[in-house]
Structure 1
């Protein structure tokens, strides 16, 4: 059948006869399509509509009647009619023929040009409106149409057009997926075509307002309400369930932290929990007292810390200031970790469901892998800036919208705002995400050149607009980061910070099938297990790539994962179990600005969303293989539900094998709860405020040893007690030497090195006048008010050293040894 014409009709007794005669006459003319059928869908009419259609069908067997027992709306009628159609193309037209049937020729021309659908548009500038509506009615209709365009279908001028020619197979798929029963189905179908990437042509036509038309100006508001109700209903069912599961998984992972927020410390976080709680506390303090949010002297006193050169996540720590002030930074820390992990999974789920697959549970599996993959879980021990990535999928989606070229200015501005926000969440993960996006874009451009050609111009324009939006907003913060007080040029990590090839195939310490002993041998530390996807997942990804190789997106995703994995091997690629070493491609990037501070092993994190999308595509393919749609078996079918409701076919052996393969790849890397330990008690000397008697204005508390990246408990003293005193040293990134090279912690001084050596060596060196003079000099530099030794390993040995340096015994106050050294002592 060359063409199926579907005419929805409700109480159209007065107009249906002439409409059917006009349509049949044109279809039988020389301009007609060839073989055709005409389906009249009676939507539960109470007049003679069904009788007229039945009489016409009796006279012409090419006319068929499809009936519904009750009136449910245009959307329901169209679903029935399109499901019953058999045409290579399907024309949908209203019973009033406001657009004459002769305009079919214009739509056919566009279909011949390769479009998936052609929409007759009265709003097209070349259209001819022969009979206008009343002015008020026309003005209200235009306003409603603009509102729908802005909210639902940007780029289509006439969203409520009743005259559409569609590819038959695409039409039956789109209407089978549709859920709206009313006028909103027109918008729903256009949205479906856009999601699938099927081109829609908007064609100028002749149009005349027909008296008795059932489409009124307020129907545009009804359409908008239907679309909102559809989204709300969908969210309440599948999306909320998926997001709830993500949140539950995140809470279970951090259950040890939540059960004792005052004393629980993530065991594998090193000193990072102390550091991050301090970041949240100092940001809240800066906001509450209107201090510079980019700098503080509370740590590394008196030189201070460039907060923009560190990772305080101002995008979250600033809005969460009320939580931090009311409940403390430990609560903020737990909220950011738990909520951020769940939000990131939900964001990837949204992107995959929107752009890649139809099955929501397939998208959920992909989103879960992208957010809960072993590298993400490793960083979830201590680096929220590397696992709270909910803005990255949003940025990717906006970039893809730019490629579509519908609203370049708006999308460019939004992309700039989203990028600005991500800068204040984490710059290094943003850089790595940009690398992944560039790799994917380059690969996709190679395998789908036509799409790249069409996207190049709007994307370039949109990116320029985004840059113009973002740069004024981030200009001053970035200038402070790179040129302000305590700024630095780069953080060097050596040439052995890449992953071992074995790390890509092993299981991480937190994986269900992994163990710490194996993973520790292949990672810098437990917060830097940046690969560890496991050989079953790598094998599954390879199989999926081979099976779905014809799809351009699969080729681009596979190339992105492989390229990121190779880059993550670092400047030198060592072949396992041999002495063979090859230069790695990261060598070409290692000394570029910004990249010189990146731990190259982290590039493997880009593989997580790529693998998640490949798994989602595979699962979607398996589930869609079972789905079947059935059409009405009779001409007149009194059904009350869509005739194209999905029917599940039998489960086939290859589907069982596929499901087992996915399970075998994912179950071994399911993360286990983060272990916690009791954090050291804060000495009463600090906790009860006894220090205030010994520390004057502009003076500091000097813990022994000074806080550094290996021992930063003094930062917990500060964050838990309201940041009432500064400390020298600390755990942060700052400058060292005349070249201002970035290091972790404060530049070492003789006395701080002495304390550290004794703390970890347990031996008392020979303390003479020179050491005493040096200690006085360093204490003066730190503007020390009091020196404090808390209970810790080798505290007795440290006591002896400090006693010799200061030439007097300490006092035991509040559970700590104390030496007043300030101006008032």
Structure 2
């Protein structure tokens, strides 16, 4: 393990070329770091350029729902800061039951830090800003980590850092996931884990790691779980290697003391969030996603992603559940190159570096197998007769809430480490023999050939309905009392996200708010009388009335509304505490789906009667609970 602190020779394994320095004078590295930071930021802006071109009317075409959810969280962050609301539970969504945000991806640190920007520019700007900084920051964090712990050549760390930050899996998750694009959490946490062994600094290092774990949990809890698991596997495998066994035994007391401090600090910060996550109201088991469906197809590792140069040329493969979950897609050239390079680098390394490589390799294999899920899938075919390790883990705590295919993102980090080591050797070895020179030339060419096909393209965007004046100028307040409930039509869901967006914009402005029924979130199917947890699901269990509207918008189906439907609507409106519903002239579909506004308006008129018409052509129906809708 390459470390800067004094260490026995077995683990020191310094890179092949030391920097030339004047005695007592360290080289200035900040210009190099700053240059790479600018490059990484420029690359992040390039990937998100479609949103930046018009953030108020452009939306990620491959995941409209998740963008709306994270914009809602940004708006709720400002509401939390200014109103003193609970950051881990809200009654503004899913009226009247509320939503457990600790059991969702609440990105609390981001929502609080960016609350001034959210208030001044809107959740749309905060969303694209965080997304861009996540991608660039991930590349920069990996660059610094690799430069500090594994390689001295800045070029090697830079190429590998860009790979880790903008790998196909993270570009795929850039379609709406502010949690998974926070790939910087892994290198930052691992950096601090490696520092736990420093003699005499167990207290400081334990405190720092505890704070980092609290931050990581609030931003990317699932990613932090993967990082902790990978760190544990690495440390265990590295510690039992014969060349470093004595060193690991000597460092063990210091590490244990530091971990004790970490547990106290992290427990102090995370006590309430963890309680809410596992035992608070509206908790659930699982995620609502099928763990046999959201698995990595083994053939996907050898394929190219959709949003890449190779995909642009038509070489991509349709092997992911959706375009947001292309978590591997590294391509045959890169996989073959890095597997070969692993054995080549290991053969050239000293015993200490071999111990590190062995541990890194085991992490890669373990997470590759976990990503395949409980059964082997190859080229869209599930082999029921080939169970895999995840089958034994699927019901365990934490594993039951993870999607197996996302374990592939750890393999990206492993490949980034191998890529950095390979390029470092290619750039630092001097005057190779003719035979070795030919091999180096071939390897250098293979690096270029392997990386070019997965160079990302900008994220796809589509138009979305602009914020109506009905929301922007506060006209809605005429129809909803303080603490009241209102909904856009169709009701908010992952595939009909407008209603949740309108609420997020009002929260970002401050002042009086309204609640909405339904929404896009993870919650329980229901809770029985004993309060036992139910399986998770996406959104609220639908009622007859919201399904009536969704069916009209999504399928264009116009129901023959009768008195039974009106009676059911009266009961549903009472359950939600609904005061008004409204329909805009323009509504946004999801993932390339156009909603049928005409069918929706026809259904609403048949059920609710004639609406009021406000400025901008917004149709509003007041709801008087206890009165048949058609009799108003």
- For the superposition of Structure 1 and Structure 2, which TM-score range results when normalised by the shorter chain? 0.7 to 0.9
Contact 2:5 2:198 in 1 (8 A): no
Corresponding residue number in structure 1 for 2:591: none
Radius of gyration: which is bigger? Answer: 1
Supply the distance in 2 between the matched residues of 1:265 and 1:764 (Cα, whole angstroms).
28
Determine if the alignment matches structure 1 residue 560 to structure 2 residue 363: yes
Q: Deviations over 1:511-566 (max 9, x none)?
A: 21125987573111111111111111100111101212242222222222222112
Asked if residue 660 in structure 1 is aligned to residue 445 in structure 2, the reply is: yes
Cα 1:819–1:173 shift into 2, 3 Å: closer
Find 1:291's aligned residue among 85, 97, 102: 85
- Helix, strand or coil at the partner of 1:426: helix
Gaps (5+ residues) in structure 2?
Answer: 348-353, 528-532, 588-594
Between 699-708 and 536-545, the greater mean CA deviation after superposition = 699-708
Between the aligned partners of 1:331 and 1:286, the Cα distance in structure 2 is 18
Structure 1 gaps, min length 5: 1-151, 157-165, 186-225, 629-647
Residue of structure 2 equivalent to 1:769: 563
2:155 corresponds in structure 1 to: 361
User: What TM-score do you get using the length of structure 2 for normalisation?
Assistant: 0.88
C-alpha separation between the residues in 2 aligned to 1:320 and 1:664?
40
Q: Which residue of 2 aligns with 1:18?
A: none
8 Å CA contact retained: 1:698, 1:783:
no
* Matching residue within 576, 595, 601 for 1:799: 601
Counterparts of 2:522 and 2:96, CA distance in 1: 15
Q: Distance in 2 between matches of 1:577 and 1:601?
A: 14
Q: Quote the Cα distance in structure 2 between the aligned partners of 1:627 and 1:375.
A: 38
Q: Secondary structure at the match of 2:311?
A: coil
Other-structure match for 1:139: none
- Alpha-carbon separation, structure 2, partners of 1:626 and 1:815: 73
| Match for residue 733 of structure 1 among 516, 522, 526 | 522
Give 1:654 deviation, angstroms.
2.5
RMSD: 2.9
CA 1:263–1:575: 2 relative to 1, 3 Å: closer
Distance in 2 (CA, whole Å) between partners of 1:563 and 1:153 is 28
**Cα distance, 1:500–1:577 mapped onto 2, change above 3 Å:** closer
Quick one: which of 241, 251, 255 aligns to 1:459? 255
Q: Residues 590 and 541 of structure 1: is their aligned pair in 2 closer, same or farther, counting only changes over 3 Å?
A: same
Relative distance call for 1:504 and 1:173 in structure 2 (3 A) is closer
Partner of residue 596 from structure 1, selected from 376, 380, 400: 400
Superposition deviation, residue 234 in structure 1: 1.5
State how far apart, in whole Å, the 2-side matches of 1:339 and 1:397 are: 20
Q: Which moved more, 1:797-806 or 1:650-659?
A: 650-659
Task: Tell me if structure 2 keeps the 8 A contact 1:492–1:596.
Answer: no
The separation in 2 between residues aligned to 1:760 and 1:809, in whole angstroms, is: 22
Alpha-carbon distance in structure 2 between the residues aligned to 1:740 and 1:518? 42
- Cross-structure match for 1:809: 610
From 313, 337, 341, give the equivalent of 2:131: 337
TM superposition shift of 1:499: 1.0
Q: Distance in 2 between the 1:516 and 1:524 partners?
A: 21
Deviation of 1:757 after TM superposition, in Å, equals 2.0
Q: TM-score, normalised by structure 1?
A: 0.68
Question: Relative to structure 1, is the Cα distance of residues 353 and 154 closer, same or farther in structure 2, using a 3 angstrom cutoff?
Answer: closer
Partner residue of 1:617 out of 401, 410, 421:
421
Seen in structure 2, the aligned counterparts of structure 1 residues 822 and 687 have a Cα distance that, compared at 3 Å, is farther
Contact between 2:293 and 2:321, CA under 8 Å: does it hold in 1?
Answer: no
CA drift at 1:442: 3.3
345 and 548 in structure 1: CA distance in 2 versus 1, 3 angstrom threshold: same
Distance change in 2, residues 1:497/1:154 (3 Å): closer
The whole-number CA distance in structure 2 between the counterparts of 1:525 and 1:778 is: 33
**Cα distance, 1:344–1:572 mapped onto 2, change above 3 Å:** same
- Residues 405 and 459 of structure 1 are in contact (CA less than 8 Å); yes or no, is this contact kept in structure 2? no
| 1:283–1:312 contact (8 Å) kept in structure 2 | no
Q: Can you list the C-alpha shifts for 1:448-503, whole angstroms capped at 9, x where unaligned?
A: 45144344333233222211221111101211222223222331422222111111
1:508–1:516 CA contact under 8 A, matched in 2:
no
Pairing of 1:320-399 with structure 2 (within 5 A)? 320-399=114-193
Deviation per CA, 1:744-784: give whole Å up to 9, x if none. 11121121122222222322333222221110111112221
Is 1:476 the equivalent of 2:272?
yes
Which residue in the other structure is 1:52 paired with?
A: none
1:235 is matched with which residue?
A: 30
Q: How does 1:484-633 map to 2 (within 5 A)?
A: 484-494=280-290, 495-514=292-311, 521-550=318-347, 551-576=354-379, 580-581=383-384, 582-626=386-430
State the Cα distance separating 1:812 from its structure 2 match: 3.1
Please name the residue that 2:216 is paired with: 422
Contact persistence 1:263–1:678 (CA under 8 A): yes
Q: Quick one: higher RCO (CA 8 Å, sep 6+), 1 or 2?
A: 2
Q: Distance in 1 between matches of 2:383 and 2:525?
A: 35
In structure 1, distance between residues paired with 2:524 and 2:448? 48
TM superposition shift of 1:435? 2.1
Q: Aligned in 2, Cα 1:527/1:153: closer, same or farther, shift over 3 Å?
A: closer
Q: By how many angstroms is 1:258 displaced?
A: 1.4
